[in-house]
Amino acid sequence: MIRVLVILCTIIGCITAHMCMLSPPQRGSLIGINNKAASDCGLEQGPCGGRNPMSPQYGAKSGGNYTVSFQKNLDHWTAATPGQFTVMMSDSKTMDFKLLAKVADKGEPSLTVYSVNVTLPTRPPNTKVIMQVVYETNNPQAPPAFYQCSDMMLF
């Protein structure tokens, strides 16, 4: 019985949480992100984990450089088919995400923090945008992707 319970907990732990967006902060909370399988990090529904848009709390210079930071909250790396993280941005009205950067998943452990510098697209002042990070697991034993978004204002 204990063996079955341990196996079940392992399976549940592997399918419940995976990637958190730190900067800019993700929609929702960052509660528990220093623990593997934090519930706010396991959003499987694209494009933004099923979370509703928020009023932009962060701004950045249109056409400027910006550092995006995110955490692999639970590792899903597999040597046969390694995954990746993609950083994208869209105007909040179009939801047409454009790739800004890719980061290979090289098997770093759970709770690893990644930072990538991106050049933001040039938009008119006061344009609301959505920054999105997707963890594409490419692991047949895991969900295909995990999504996080942050609402920003370009100035």
Residues 62-94 pLDDT 10s: 999 999 999 999 999 999 999 999 999 999 999
Residues 99-127 pLDDT 10s: 999 999 999 999 999 999 999 999 999 99
Asked if 53 and 148 count as a contact pair (C-beta separation under 8 A), the reply is: no
C-alpha–C-alpha distance, residues 121 and 129, integer Å:
10
pLDDT of 5 reads: 35
> Given a cut of 70, is residue 154 above it in pLDDT?
yes
Asked if 125 and 83 count as a contact pair (C-beta separation under 8 A), the reply is: no
DSSP string, 114-139: EEEEEEPPP--TTEEEEEEEEEE---
CB environment 48-86: b (16+ within 10 A), e (fewer): bbebeeeebeeebebeeebebebbbbbbbbbeeebbebb
pTM: predicted TM-score of the whole model, two decimal places: 0.88
Domain count across the chain: 1
Q: Cis peptide before 47, with omega less than 30 degrees from 0?
A: yes
C-alpha–C-alpha distance, residues 74 and 32, integer Å:
12
pLDDT of 139 reads: 97
Range of the domain at 63: 2-154
- 23: domain CATH number is 2.70.50.50
Q: Give the pairing type, strands 145-154 and 58-60.
A: parallel
